[in-house]
Amino acid sequence: MRKIFVLAKREYNSAVRTKGFIIGLLLAPVFMGGSFIAFALMKDKVDLSDKHITVIDHSGLMKEYLTQAVEDRDKNEIYNKETGEQIKPAYYLEFVNPDTADIFQQKLNLSDKVRSKKMHAFIEIGPDILHPGDDPVKSGIRYYSENSALDAVRDWFAGSINNKIRQLRIKELNLSDKSVEGLFNWINLEGLGLISVDKKTGAVKDARQIGVAETIIVPYIMVILMFMMLMMGAIPLLTAVMEEKMNRIAEVLLGSVTPFEFMMGKIIGSIAVSLTAAAVYIIGAVVTVGQLGLSGMVPFHIIPWFFVFLILNIIMVGSGMAALGSACNDNKDAQALQFPAMIPIIIPLFIMMPIIQEPLSHFSTTLSLLPPFTPMLMLLRMSTPVSIPVWQPIAGLIGVILFTLFSVWAGGRIFRTCILMQGQKPKLGNLVRYVLKG
Amino acid sequence: MNIIELQGITKRFDGLTAVDNLSLNVPEKSVYGFIGPNGSGKTTTIRMIMNILYPDSGKLYLFGREHTGARVDNVGYLPEERGLYKKMKVNELLRFHGELKNGKNLNNEISYWLKKLDLAEYANKKVETLSKGMSQKLQFIVTIIDRPALIILDEPFSGLDPVNAEILRSAILEFQQNGATIIFSTHDMNMAEKMCDYILMIYKGRKVLDGTLLSIQDNYGTDTIRIHAEKGSSVMENIRGIEKINDFGQMQEIRISKNADTQEILSEIMKRTRIYRFEVTKPSLNDIFIRIASPEKTE
């Protein structure tokens, strides 16, 4: 055991006492949460160029209303009232009569204008929008642009046109505006947790509001953090072991330690590296949310589980990576093996959303009890606001412990056989043979 | 007492027998040289002694106890193909290996050996800044930093210039004088002759020689003449009793047949050229090595 710790200490020092580790520690969350950060930074960056829109109104109901609505918008909504700074693009509307002889030619001409950037989009309003019939073309409103799916202009016109249609329908019913005042008042269903009892005082506690942050972001961060720690600690073992084999350091060390001690020294060093990084992130996150007054969002009861699953996951993945590294003869071998070896930790990332949405489903439960996925997926389920049955994390933990023991045993047998072997390609059949026959 | 005892150990790799039924006793405080051509099984034997490889059959005793499983701290091992952590500083590297081997007084040992092997000024330099020869000397210090009772060196002199080879040789002998047992494999027959109390030669996985240099030479008898003749080896051809001539330029080594008369050979050569030196002797280790492992023998 002493030798394992001497090896682990060297691994830890060589990893942590480098600029690369500090830079990686700072940059990893930036890369991982890059899309969130970019979204947050870019959300106020709006394209302010003028938007010219042409309308083909088959109904003949909208010209006066939309012209006025656009005029009001450009006057009242596109400038910041305090600073006078423009914050939204101005809209310029043009109505054209439908070409009843060849509507497709007319729409093609308008499309060409959009393509040549002479205008932003055109809208075709069907003739039967007030009283929709069976024909979706006649009853619909169509918006044509180069990027119609994600276009704020489309949303604005959809709201305005439907507002006018609603007004016209109310008018047809001879109802006064006052009598329908509350008719369209939408009441949201507030998302809350469950009523609980305060363990200290015994008093009944009211339910807390459950937001998107607790439902999605907290579980997401937990799993991404574990993925990052694996990338930082376990995955590099493949190339590290391969390099020590190729640089002939392995045999020098094997004069003093057994192959198993060698492998475990590297894995424990990696665990220490990952725990250091994880502690930095988690303490940093807890302090930050505390400063922001959002401590209630942090699932403190999950943190011990996080560390237990993290340690087991690094041993499980790390022993596999070290074994594969020992079987490689060059960088080409290592590159070929790295991606397949990472699949068990990549799959949970792909199936995160369905599991966050339905943490109690059969699919979620089954996958989270498969040992290679348990550390990430059980933690994901436990991080959601939904309570999962108590036996499941315990059963998952037992499964992971058993599978980790198997990984270390199998990895150790491959490692022992391959670490001094030269010229043999790391084929699956050979690796299985080494596990079975040693 | 024997520090190492091998009893009929055999090791095969994919059907090829690398070491075949090898038995060996290495006495305490001796210097044992392993010689043999490339691929003869020296490194495999050493790796089995170190328990890095396990024999397929046979038994292996180290310090009188059967050797299986865990590493023994009191053994220093310098492999043939060696590497060091290049990004570590020299003194950090030595401390790491010293701690790994449970060494005592590491600070003193590190200073002593760095000074002895002319590396003191590199103590705080990274390993990657050292030349090849310096790295080899550092590798030797890594091997002996805990002052082991048994030192196993696989080709310790390969690639070293004569000055560094001499420094290393004196360091090895210091250990022997202090009571350590030393095994080393080498292709340098001259070094083996000078340093070894016992010599083991392995050829195609089998032991072909084992004993002191004198006992090995005695097996071959006094069948060698070292001669320095003015006209070189050309005048020695077709002389009755000469079996083989090795021409080294300034000196020729002649192997004579079993009942040849050395005086007759001398007088025959004297008829053909002037002779500056004539010595009847036992074959050198180099000659014995070549006799066993020469291509003709292989065929």
Closest approach of A408 to chain B, Cα-based (Å)? 17
Number of domains in chain A: 2
Tens of pLDDT, residue by residue over A90-141, are 999 999 999 888 899 999 999 999 999 999 999 999 999 988 888 888 889 9
| Residue B143 · residue B151 · CB < 8 Å | yes
C-alpha dihedral (B124, B129, B135, B138), degrees to nearest 10: 0
More confident residue, A230 or A419: A230
Judge if A128 and A249 occupy the same domain: no
Q: Side by side, which strands form the sheet with B150-154?
A: B75-78, B150-154, B181-185, B31-35, B198-203, B206-211
Tens of pLDDT, residue by residue over A260-300, are 888 888 888 888 988 888 888 888 888 887 777 777 777 78
pTM of the predicted model, to two decimals?
0.71
Q: Tokens representing A90?
A: 């101005």
Nearest to B91 by CA among B68, B114, B65: B114
Given CB atoms, is B136 within the 8 Å cutoff of chain A? no
Q: What is the pLDDT of residue A126?
A: 92
Q: How many degrees, rounded to 5, is the angle at CA A367 between CA A365 and CA A373?
A: 125
Tens of pLDDT, residue by residue over A171-206, are 888 887 777 877 777 887 777 777 878 778 888 877
What is the identity of the amino acid at A255?
G
Domain span including residue B235: 222-281
Looking at the domain assignment, is residue A199 inside a domain? Answer: no
Tens of pLDDT, residue by residue over A335-390, are 888 888 888 888 988 988 888 888 888 998 999 999 999 999 999 988 888 888 88
Tens of pLDDT, residue by residue over B218-227, are 877 788 888 9
Q: What is the pLDDT of residue B70?
A: 58
Judge if A154 and A79 occupy the same domain: yes
Judge if B156 and B254 occupy the same domain: no
CB contact under 8 A, B82 and A3: no
Tens of pLDDT, residue by residue over B48-107, are 888 878 888 998 888 888 776 656 678 888 888 778 888 889 999 999 988 888 778 888
Q: What is the pLDDT of residue A213?
A: 67
Contacts of B78 in chain A (CB under 8 A): 255
Given CB atoms, is B85 within the 8 Å cutoff of chain A? yes
Q: What is the pLDDT of residue A33?
A: 64
pLDDT score of B298 more than 50: no
CB atoms within 10 A of CB A189: 5
Judge if A316 and A393 occupy the same domain: yes
Contacts of B84 in chain A (CB under 8 A): 249, 252
Among A190-199, A206-215, A239-248, the range of highest mean pLDDT = A239-248
**Residues 6 or more apart from B176 whose CB is under 8 A from it?**
B29, B31, B182
pLDDT-derived band at A438 (thresholds 50, 70, 90) equals low
Given CB atoms, is B12 within the 8 Å cutoff of chain A? no
Judge if A117 and A230 occupy the same domain: no
Given CB atoms, is B84 within the 8 Å cutoff of chain A? yes
CB contact under 8 A, B100 and A7: yes
Given CB atoms, is B126 within the 8 Å cutoff of chain A? no
CB contact under 8 A, B52 and A420: yes
- Looking at the DSSP bridge assignments, the partners of residue B31 are B182
Q: What is the pLDDT of residue A97?
A: 92
End-of-domain residue from the set A163, A180, A197: A180
Given CB atoms, is B211 within the 8 Å cutoff of chain A? no
Contacts of A250 in chain B (CB under 8 A): 83
Judge if B149 and B265 occupy the same domain: no
Looking at the domain assignment, is residue A189 inside a domain? Answer: no
CATH code: domain of residue B173: 3.40.50.300
Domain span including residue A224: 2-29+211-437
- Looking at the DSSP bridge assignments, the partners of residue B19 are B11
Judge if B88 and B146 occupy the same domain: yes
Beta strand segments in B133-233, E:
150-154, 181-185, 198-203, 206-211, 224-229
If you average pLDDT over every residue of chain A, what do you get?
Answer: 85
DSSP A209: B
Judge if B104 and B27 occupy the same domain: yes
Distance CA B16, CA B13 (A): 5
Q: What is the mean pLDDT of residues A6-32?
A: 82
More confident residue, A126 or B192: A126
Looking at the domain assignment, is residue B292 inside a domain? Answer: no
Given CB atoms, is B47 within the 8 Å cutoff of chain A? yes
Helix/strand/coil for A108: helix
CB atoms within 10 A of CB B240: 11
Given CB atoms, is B72 within the 8 Å cutoff of chain A? no
Judge if B89 and B173 occupy the same domain: yes
Closest approach of B83 to chain A, Cα-based (Å)? 4
Looking at the domain assignment, is residue B296 inside a domain? Answer: no
Which of A6, A251, A261 lies nearest to residue B96, judging by beta carbons? A6
- Which of B78, B81, B106, B141 should be substituted to probe chain A, the one whose Cβ sees the most A Cβ atoms within 10 Å? B81
Distance CA A21, CA A276 (A): 11
pLDDT score of B299 more than 50: no
Distance CA B169, CA A269 (A): 37
Q: What is the mean pLDDT of residues B42-53?
A: 86
Contacts of A255 in chain B (CB under 8 A): 50, 52, 71, 75-79, 143
Given CB atoms, is B164 within the 8 Å cutoff of chain A? no
Looking at the domain assignment, is residue B297 inside a domain? Answer: no
Number of domains in chain B: 2
Interface ipTM:
0.76
Looking at the domain assignment, is residue A195 inside a domain? Answer: no
CATH code: domain of residue A97: 3.40.190
